Amino acid sequence: MNRFEQIYAVHRELRRARYPVSTAHLRKTLGECSVATVRRVMDEMRSFLGAPVESTRQEGGGYWYAEDQRGTYELPGLWFNASEIHALLTLSELLGRVQPGFLQAELAPLRKRIEALLTAKHASSPDIARRIRILGIAMRAAGEHFNTCADAVLRRRGLNLHYHSRSKDELTERSVSPQRLVHYRDNWYLDVWCHRDQALRSFSVDRIRAAQILEEPARETPDAELDRHFATAYGIFAGEPTNTAVLRFTPGAARWVAEEIWHPEQQGKFLDDGSYELRIPYGNPTELVMEILKYGPDVEVTAPGKLRREVADRLKAACERYQAD
């Protein structure tokens, strides 16, 4: 934890505690830190933030907020952590995009409560929505069949879909058992068991051209199986991981890539020349190839050979487009 996170975590513990919070508990809260670190955090809270911290010198130690300020003292300034402010602003942004409909009246008070919470916590910045923005990148409209898909997912009913594939530029009809709706990189996907293919598949909701809920119940797929298929390999084009991509980034790009999380099971290390090697498990390489191409000359695929050739072929085709110039 950095110091901001430590102070925030201590404040959260002291604000809700009815009895003194032991030093041992605070050490655990702060990631198994030392006793000296706990004391330093408390001193900084008293000296610089005016926190009403009181303590005892009895064995084991203990800290609490003065009783007359326990429920009212707030840390000054921006004291949401990154994940909390992202969640609140995202909720506010998503609610603001809701089109007029049956839920408009019910959702309006919810958005007002979120905005009030943001304003109350940031009294000096009532225009926080203007000052902190969450931008959608390459966002596509969910399409006219989103509600039907969501209804089928929640009611556990089968679906008959007419689906247009971008990659193959073809329209197919298929019967599916919807499992999950997934919001990934500002776009919606439907994870299903496809009865035609007898396999798990993921479809872009915006590419569904027709959707009809069936009378038949959806085939249930255990969560563990869904997680193995969709969550263990890279990106939305998942599947059981069958390969591990080995990517070598230049020293310049390494400063960014080394701090990025591409996959929960990735492995990375700096090499002697300052470059960075990243290993990523993947099944379907489609999205991984797109990510690699974004780095142009700053990355080299060293393994496996098939992925290296695919990226090289794409780069060669791109260069050929410019040779006429």
Distance of CA 54 to the CA centre of its chain: 38
pLDDT at 214 (0 to 100) = 95
3-state secondary structure of 209: strand
Helix (H, G, I), strand (E, B) or coil at 178: strand
Q: Name the stretches of the chain with pLDDT < 50.
A: 123-126
Instruction: State the Cα–Cα distance between residues 296 and 290, nearest whole angstrom.
Output: 10
pLDDT at 284: 84
The reported pLDDT for the residue numbered 250 is 96
Convert 230-260 into a string of H (helix), E (strand) and C (coil).
HHCCCCCCCCCCCEEEEEEECHHHHHHHCCC
For the full predicted model, state whether its pTM sits above 0.75.
no
Closest CA to 80 of 49, 121, 47, 125: 121
Give the per-residue pLDDT at 176.
97
At 19 the pLDDT is 85
Distances in Å between the Cα of 65 and the Cα atoms of 43, 73, 284 are 13, 9, 54
Domains plus CATH for the chain? 3-69 (1.10.10.10), 82-131 (no CATH), 146-221 (2.30.30), 243-322 (3.30.70)
- State the Cα–Cα distance between residues 194 and 203, nearest whole angstrom: 10
